[in-house]
Amino acid sequence: MGLFKKFVSQTRKPEGFLGKMMVNGMNGGHAQMADWGLSHLTDIAPEEIVELGCGGGRNAGALLDKYPSAKVTAIDYSEVSVGKATAYNAEAIKSGRCQVQRGDVSALTLPEERYDLATAFETIYFWPGLEKCFSQVAKVLKPGGVFMIVNESDGHDETSLKFEKIIEGMKCHTIEDIEKALIAAGFSKVKSDHHKSKPWITVIAKK
C-alpha cells in the first residue's frame, strides 16, 4: 500500500502516527462544512447530546458552544480520536459538561432514550450498514429526539467517489439512500438540504 493510500485510509479509523496526523487535520479541514450543517439546527434546545464518530472533537466543542446548557457525550471507535477529542474538550470535561469515550455505533452501549440530539459529521461513510446503525441511534434517542447527519459528499461528486475506490470500507451515500435507511430504522419527518454550490448535504430526522 502506498503512503498516500495509507494516509487517506486513516479517515476510517485513525491509528498510529498517520492517524494522529489525520485527526489533527480533521478539526480545521471540516470546520466550514460542519458549521453549515449546525446552522440547520434552529428550533431545538437539547439538554443531552451524543456526537457519533467525533474524530478530533471540534464538533463536540461547537455543540457545547451552541447549546451552553447542554451536556455532550462524544463517541469514536478510534483510540487516537478519543485521545484527541479528550484533549480538545479538556475544559468542558473538567467542568462536567462533556465526556469522550470509545464506542461502536453498530452496537451502542449508551443508555436508551437518553439523548435529545444525535449528530454524525463526516462519518456514516464507514458505518457497517446504515439501517442497522441508524436503529442503534434511534434506540438511544428520546421520543421526539433529533438525528442530524452532515456529509461532505452527496454520493455523486467525483472527488469522493474516487476516494471510495481507494479507502477500504468507504461508501458515499446519496440523500435518497440515507432517507430510506432512516425511515426503515424507525425515524420520521426526515428532511434534507443540499448546499447550493458544494456537494455538502445535511439530513435531519426525528424519532
Q: What is the pLDDT of residues 66-103, one digit of tens each?
A: 999 999 999 998 888 899 899 999 999 999 999 999 99
User: What residue ranges do the domains of the chain occupy?
Assistant: 3-40+47-206
> Measured between alpha carbons, how far is 149 from 191 in angstroms, rounded to an integer?
11
Return d(Cα 124, Cα 146) in angstroms, integer.
16
Residue type, 189: K
Q: Is residue 50 a contact partner of residue 112, using CB atoms and an 8 Å limit?
A: no
The band of 158, judged by pLDDT with boundaries at 50, 70 and 90, is: confident
Give domain 3-40+47-206's CATH number out of 1.10.1060.10, 1.10.10.10, 3.40.50.150, 3.30.2130.10.
3.40.50.150
C-alpha distance across the termini of the chain, in Å: 42
Say yes or no to pLDDT of 14 above 70.
Answer: no
142 by DSSP, 3-state: which? strand
Q: Which three cell numbers stand for residue 192?
A: 434534507
Model pTM above 0.85: yes
> Nearest-5° angle of CA 124, CA 77, CA 125?
15
Task: Report the mean per-residue pLDDT for the chain.
Answer: 87
Closest CA to 54 of 118, 9, 6: 118
Dihedral sign from CA coordinates of 63, 65, 70, 71: positive
Letter for the amino acid at 74? A
